[in-house]
Structure 1
């Protein structure tokens, strides 16, 4: 049971990280456009 709990925690962390990345990507559009034109 404790293995499942740890797995679930790390899955939740991964989802939170992904959502944060999407939000930051939408806030600051640096992803595809910024690296191509900016630098």
Structure 2
């Protein structure tokens, strides 16, 4: 039970993680090698 809730929570965490990576790259000059 709660499969839809779990999927929504996972998607929400994934979006937050992507935003964190984007902000981190822009703040630290692309330390992951993306060159941002």
Q: TM-score, normalised by structure 2?
A: 0.77
Q: More relative contact order in 1 or in 2 (CA 8 Å, sep 6+)?
A: 2
Number of residue pairs aligned between Structure 1 and Structure 2: 33
Structure that is richer in helix per residue = 1
Structure 2 unmatched ranges of 5 or more: none
Q: What is the aligned-residue RMSD (CA, Å)? A: 1.5
**5+ long unaligned stretches in structure 1:** 34-39
Instruction: State the structure with more CA Rg.
Output: 1
